[in-house]
Amino acid sequence: MGLHRSTAGEAMNENGRTPYDPHAFEPFAVTVDLAVFTVRESRLHVLLIRRGQDPYAGAWALPGGFILPRECAEDAARRELAEETGLSQESAAALHLEQLRTYSDPDRDPRMRVVSVGYTALVPGLPEPRGGGDAAHAQWTPVGALPELAFDHARIIADARERIRAKLEYTCLATAFCPPEFTLGELQQVYETVWGVELDRPNFRRKVLASPGFVEPVEGAPRRTGGRGKPAALYRAGTATTLHPALLRPERRSEGERSE
Amino acid sequence: MGLHRSTAGEAMNENGRTPYDPHAFEPFAVTVDLAVFTVRESRLHVLLIRRGQDPYAGAWALPGGFILPRECAEDAARRELAEETGLSQESAAALHLEQLRTYSDPDRDPRMRVVSVGYTALVPGLPEPRGGGDAAHAQWTPVGALPELAFDHARIIADARERIRAKLEYTCLATAFCPPEFTLGELQQVYETVWGVELDRPNFRRKVLASPGFVEPVEGAPRRTGGRGKPAALYRAGTATTLHPALLRPERRSEGERSE
DNA sequence: GCAAAAGTGTTTCGTCTACACCCATGA
DNA sequence: TCATGGGTGTAGACGAAACACTTTTGC
């Protein structure tokens, strides 16, 4: 970490001041930005807010905000997540939240030096969730129809999508998109939506059930109907976090595949 | 990113000042920390430096330092990497360097609020590389015999090792540990060292050669001897970055496997 | 009965594993 | 000629893909 170099060509102190005085060097603002995803109507959506303040005022942006003096980045992200989804702290604590990467381009904010820690959150397909205090400023937007975004937020969303795509293969992440109890059909929809492919249901079923700890049946359970068709058995997320064997996505398409 | 929230329960301005004044809020120092790995004598080593300054003075730590006002984190990490390995900027530019994650515990540095962006770097097994200006303050240390480390650097190293282990499976990362031209035996050693397992040579060879773009033969090449035995064909890193199919590590051991 | 969704079975095919075996070199 | 590491071949186990088929519901 910082303040521990003593070789030649010193990085700090290039303004001649000692680095031990908190106000001596040019300060950095440190924020968190959240890419909150959900699956609705077989499409991947991301939560956007409309900016009120000036740089990019009126533009869409990711929710986020400052890290407080006594907060770690994860706490700040969790706090923002609760505020922006309108959930209680307790409900938000159960959501999947993971650090993505940090964005530090010196020009990413025109006002001053702002370093932002990006987070990815996954929420179940709540019927119509909206923001906390300000009810209408947050909105689910299909990732295939993103507007122009403030700052480098388009990049953050792209990075987050790529991360999610990859992690579905070898982790149990997909259950984070599902409500506490779900059917294998719903779970499959998550995969198909995020990957943009169709999967063979019998094979999908076998692979999921063969992965120890991925899902566990809700025993003696009522069976939920999704309209027509045979009622499906319910499952809940298991205890495993990684998948063995992995659930590989089909066809190694050349690269592209950005359609949504 | 920052400065763009306008809902209730504002994060910024909790001290009543406008966030647009760079010196108005409690400043964060932002640094980079580098976990630089190499494979030497069939063991994974990490580059450590001995601290001269006071928090943890005399203790071992990861190389790192401040991000300069006009620098992004990646540039800062690359600069530190060049300084600490003693390589030129050009040589260091060819090394594998990737962002790991950001560490932001408010108490991770006793002096002040320091947020650090961790990076992982992979270097070939240079014979005896050492630091830049200060020749002896940097040292390769086997990851199986780490001393007490300053700050949260032990955690950073653990995270970095885990990342490397995972990425060997599905990326071409292993070639970053190898010199520009290498034999398949050397490449296999990288895998065996990082994973701590023995691999079947015939199968390893087949899998590597079957992964398009992983390695490409150095045509009409001289064959290098590693002492005794048949000289091996030379390869260089291919153009691919991801591996299809993946090179899965054998046996799904319960979890642990920290031995080294 | 028909459509729709859940769930089972089976055949086929490719991949990975394990291991036997040959090749080229230094001592 | 023996030890050492590079390289090839192959039989069997395993897992995945493809698809036919049955079950249970709403209309």
- Single out the residue in B131, B164, B197 at which a domain terminates: B164
B203 CA – D11 C1', rounded, Å: 15
Q: Is pLDDT of A228 > 70?
A: yes
Dist CA B86 CA B129 (whole Å): 7
Q: Is pLDDT of B57 > 70?
A: yes
pTM flag (> 0.85): yes
Q: In terms of C-beta distances under 8 Å and separation of at least 24 residues, what long-range contacts does A182-185 make, across chains too? A: A182/A234, A182/A235, A182/A236, A183/A224, A183/A226, A183/A232, A183/A233, A183/A234, A183/A235, A184/A208, A184/A215, A184/A232, A184/A233, A184/A235, A185/A226, A185/A232
Compute the nearest-CA separation of B225 from chain A (Å): 37
Q: Six-digit token pair at A233?
A: 């058995």
- Say which CATH number the domain at A218 has: 1.10.10.10
User: Which stretch of A69-73, A97-101, A171-175, A220-224 has the lowest confidence by average pLDDT?
Assistant: A220-224
**Which pLDDT value is given to residue A223?**
77
Verify that A86 and A70 share a domain, yes or no: yes
pLDDT confidence band for A240 (50 / 70 / 90) = very high
Q: Which of B32, B29, B75 is nearest to A106 (CA)?
A: B75
**Which pLDDT value is given to residue B250?**
82
CB atoms within 10 A of CB B104: 25
| Number of domains comprising chain A | 2
Q: Flag whether A256 is in a domain.
A: no
Question: How far from A24 is each of A14, A220, B189, CA to CA, in Å?
Answer: 11, 65, 48
CB atoms within 10 A of CB B88: 9
The fraction of chain B above a pLDDT of 70, given in percent, is: 82
Q: Is pLDDT of A257 > 70?
A: no
Q: Is pLDDT of A224 > 60?
A: yes
Residue whose entry in the numeric block shows the structure tokens 């390869």: B235
Q: Six-digit token pair at B47?
A: 């580059």
Average confidence score pLDDT of chain A: 84
The fraction of chain A above a pLDDT of 70, given in percent, is: 82
- Single out the residue in B132, B164, B196 at which a domain terminates: B164
Verify that B158 and B186 share a domain, yes or no: no
Verify that A75 and A176 share a domain, yes or no: no
Q: Flag whether A18 is in a domain.
A: no
pLDDT confidence band for A175 (50 / 70 / 90) = very high
Q: Flag whether A181 is in a domain.
A: yes
Verify that A52 and A94 share a domain, yes or no: yes
Sign of CA dihedral A19, A24, A28, A30: positive
Residue whose entry in the numeric block shows the structure tokens 């999921």: A208
Verify that B157 and B177 share a domain, yes or no: no
Count A/B contacts: CB-CB distance under 8 Å: 233
A150 vs A5 pLDDT, higher one: A150
B28 vs A254 pLDDT, higher one: B28
The half-sphere exposure of A165 on its side-chain side, counting CA atoms within 13 A, is 16
Q: Flag whether A252 is in a domain.
A: no
A61 CA – C5 C1', rounded, Å: 39
Candidates A3, A4, A74, A103, partner chain B, best to mutate (most B CBs within 10 A): A4
Please identify residues in chain A, positions 211-240, with a C-beta within 7 angstroms of any atom of strand C. 223, 226-233
The half-sphere exposure of B99 on its side-chain side, counting CA atoms within 13 A, is 21
Q: How does pLDDT run across B188-244, given as a tens digit for each residue? A: 999 999 999 999 999 999 999 999 999 999 987 777 766 788 999 999 999 999 988
Closest protein residue to C26 (Cα–C1'): B228
Exposed e or buried b per residue across A192-217, where buried means at least 16 C-beta atoms within 10 angstroms of its C-beta: ebbbbeebeeeebeebbeebeebbee
Q: Is pLDDT of A130 > 90?
A: no
pLDDT confidence band for A53 (50 / 70 / 90) = confident
Verify that A72 and A120 share a domain, yes or no: yes
DSSP helix/strand/coil, A242:
strand
Q: Flag whether A49 is in a domain.
A: yes
State which residues form the domain around B211: 171-237
Verify that A85 and A187 share a domain, yes or no: no
Q: Which nucleotide is nearest to B189 (CA to C1')?
A: D5
Verify that B184 and B153 share a domain, yes or no: no
Amino acid letter at A102?
T
Verify that A214 and A110 share a domain, yes or no: no
Chain B residues touching residue A64 (CB < 8 angstroms): 1-2, 4-5
Which phi and psi (to 5°) does residue A30 adopt?
Answer: -125, 125
Q: Report CB contact under 8 Å: A3, B151.
A: no
Q: Report CB contact under 8 Å: A114, B3.
A: yes
Q: Which of B3, B68, B105, B145 is nearest to A99 (CA)?
A: B105
Which phi and psi (to 5°) does residue A85 adopt?
Answer: -90, -15
The fraction of chain A above a pLDDT of 90, given in percent, is: 68
Average pLDDT over residues A250-257: 46
Verify that B149 and B230 share a domain, yes or no: no
Q: Report CB contact under 8 Å: B73, A117.
A: no
pLDDT confidence band for A10 (50 / 70 / 90) = very low
Residue whose entry in the numeric block shows the structure tokens 């994650």: B101
Dist CA B177 CA B188 (whole Å): 11
Q: Flag whether A86 is in a domain.
A: yes
Q: Report CB contact under 8 Å: B112, A26.
A: no
DSSP helix/strand/coil, A119:
strand
Q: Is pLDDT of A177 > 80?
A: yes
pLDDT confidence band for B131 (50 / 70 / 90) = very low
User: Which stretch of A5-14, A218-227, B230-239 has the lowest confidence by average pLDDT?
Assistant: A5-14
Determine whether the distance from the CB of B207 to the nearest atom of strand C is below 7 Å: yes
Verify that A33 and A134 share a domain, yes or no: yes
End-to-end CA distance of chain A: 41
* Helix H or strand E encompassing B96: strand B96-103
**Which pLDDT value is given to residue B171?**
94
**Which pLDDT value is given to residue A154?**
98
- Say which CATH number the domain at A132 has: 3.90.79.10
Q: Flag whether B6 is in a domain.
A: no
- Bases of chain C below 7 A from a protein C-beta are 3-10, 15-20, 23-27
- Single out the residue in B106, B136, B164 at which a domain terminates: B164
Verify that A152 and A69 share a domain, yes or no: yes
Which among B6, B71, B104 is the nearest to A73, CB-wise?
B104
Q: Flag whether A199 is in a domain.
A: yes
